[in-house]
Amino acid sequence: MKRIAVLTSGGDGPGLNACIRAATRMAIQLGAEVLGVRRGYTGLINGDVVELDRRAVGGVMGYGGTFLGTARCPEFYTEKGRREALRTLNRLDVDGLIVIGGNGSLTGALELHRMGFPVVGVPATIDNDVNGTDIAIGVDTALNTILDAIDRIKDTASSHNRAFLIETMGRDCGYLALVSAIAGGAELALIPEVETPLEEVARVIGDAYVRGKAHCIIVVAEGWKPGTRALIDYLNSCREELGFEIRLTVLGHIQRGGRPSAFDRLLATRLGAAAAQALFRGERGVMVGWRHDRAVTVPLEEAVAYRKEINRELWELAAVMEL
Ligand code: ADP
């Protein structure tokens, strides 16, 4: 393998730079040249690439975001777009590609593999919904960011005797909301995977008030139905029974940024390096995942077959802790 390319695609998160750096340095160590593709699959179609040597990836470890840029690329959903991407890869004499991203990006990688191109994927998404890996790059830092916000909000909530709804990211997956609710000592988590009636939320808030708690914290995943807006309207309609005043904080894109945690830097370094090694070993159409404290390879087909489900044990644990 003489020349490989690496790209970051889809939603960003902390640890992507560390992963690009590790994949680059390991590939160089194994004797290849490395091209960085800018803006994900868009750059692959347009041939927007930059040469990466050991020094080009120096000093990036501690920064969030991705210095290569990322994008959502509608053309790549089409056969025509993917053929253009293959044409670019051939024109640039690239023998293998490392794709760092979430479920969508890894599905794109699988499509390229099916067209015969050597691809290895690395799971990076703050949602932690990629199958075949215990955890994805970015999750740990995002959780820590949410916990920091919960701690701060608890301070002000206690001072004013308020109940706070804290909305986290997670359109289809409640992992961030559930785990941050447990680790942040919240009263309740509302996640897309579990139906919780509005009356039950009001009951939890009312109970917390009656038991003399200084605040009530409810972590809501953005994908929970019927959604925070509807919940606020409902809670305002039964305000008298709650005791607490209600406030909402939407954390939004704050969760995607920031300096990667020690865990994410190490995970990204190990997975990025393992991805380059897998390409050189001749593994094709696989994702490098993290299982039982080591890097493993999983067929991309399996990784994207369905979204990782929420761990029921965690849900049950939350129910006990939130009492
Ligand atoms: P993420 O990788 O964070 O899940 P997206 O779902 O937005 O983010 O996917 C990122 C990009 O991956 C898309 O914009 C598209 O270019 C590519 N992609 C996603 N799904 C597919 C698919 N089924 N076939 C081909 N390419 C895809």
Q: Are residues 61 and 203 in the same domain?
A: no
Token output for 81? 């777009």
Q: Are residues 127 and 271 in the same domain?
A: yes
pLDDT for 113 beyond 90: yes
- For residues 78-90, average pLDDT: 98
pLDDT band, residue 114 (cuts 50/70/90): very high
* Chain segment 120-176, per-residue pLDDT in tens: 999 999 999 999 999 999 999 999 999 999 999 999 998 998 999 999 999 999 999
Q: Are residues 131 and 278 in the same domain?
A: yes
Task: Please enumerate in sequence order all residues whose Cβ is within 8 A of that of 2, keeping only pairs 6 or more positions apart, or say none.
Answer: 32, 33, 93, 95
pLDDT for 33 beyond 60: yes
Residue showing tokens 């703050």: 126
Q: Are residues 41 and 189 in the same domain?
A: no
Tell me, what's the pLDDT at 323? 56
Q: Are residues 8 and 29 in the same domain?
A: yes
Angstrom distance (rounded) from CA 220 to CA 190: 5
DSSP 61-88: TT--S-TT-----GGGGSHHHHHHHHHH
Q: Are residues 131 and 265 in the same domain?
A: yes
Domain contains 323: no
Domain edge (last residue) among 226, 256, 286: 256
Q: For residue 212, what is the domain's CATH number?
A: 3.40.50.460
Q: Are residues 150 and 99 in the same domain?
A: no
Ligand 1 contact via 11 beta carbon (within 6 Å) = yes
Q: How far does residue 201's CA lie from ligand 1's centre (Å)?
A: 35
Q: Are residues 190 and 283 in the same domain?
A: no
pLDDT for 315 beyond 80: yes
Ligand 1 contact via 111 beta carbon (within 6 Å) = yes
Enumerate the β-bridge partners of residue 148: none
- Plot region of 120 (φ>0 → left; ψ -120 to 50 → alpha; else → beta): beta
Q: How far does residue 239's CA lie from ligand 1's centre (Å)?
A: 43
Q: Are residues 163 and 173 in the same domain?
A: yes
Q: How far does residue 290's CA lie from ligand 1's centre (Å)?
A: 21
Domain contains 14: yes
Angstrom distance (rounded) from CA 184 to CA 150: 6
Proportion of the chain above pLDDT 90, given as a percent: 97
Angstrom distance (rounded) from CA 187 to CA 182: 9
Ligand 1 contact via 81 beta carbon (within 6 Å) = no
Domain contains 75: yes
Mean pLDDT of the chain: 97
CA distances (Å), 145 to each of 133, 182, 256, in order? Answer: 22, 14, 9
pLDDT band, residue 322 (cuts 50/70/90): confident
Q: Which of 196, 208, 177, 173 is nearest to 322 (CA)?
A: 208
Angstrom distance (rounded) from CA 298 to CA 235: 45
Domain contains 211: yes
Q: Please count the other Cβ atoms lying within 10 Å of the Cβ belonging to residue 62.
A: 11
Proportion of the chain above pLDDT 70, given as a percent: 100
Angstrom distance (rounded) from CA 36 to CA 48: 9
* Chain segment 214-273, per-residue pLDDT in tens: 999 999 999 999 999 999 999 999 999 999 999 999 999 999 999 999 999 999 999 999
Domain contains 226: yes
Q: How far does residue 105's CA lie from ligand 1's centre (Å)?
A: 4
Nearest-atom number in ligand 1 for the CA of 125 is 3
Q: Are residues 267 and 292 in the same domain?
A: yes
Ligand 1 contact via 72 beta carbon (within 6 Å) = yes
Q: Which residues of 290-309 are buried (b: 16+ CB within 10 A; e: fewer)?
A: beeeebbbbbbeebbeeebe
Residue identifier of the C-alpha nearest atom 15 of ligand 1 = 73
Which of 76, 97, 122, 304 gets mutated to test ligand 1 (max ligand atoms within 8 A of its CB)? 76
Domain contains 264: yes
Q: Are residues 172 and 197 in the same domain?
A: yes
Q: Are residues 218 and 94 in the same domain?
A: no
Q: Structural domain tally of the chain?
A: 2
Q: For residue 106, what is the domain's CATH number?
A: 3.40.50.450
Q: Is residue 223 a contact partner of residue 195, using CB atoms and an 8 Å limit? A: no
Domain that holds residue 163: 140-256
Domain contains 167: yes
Domain contains 283: yes
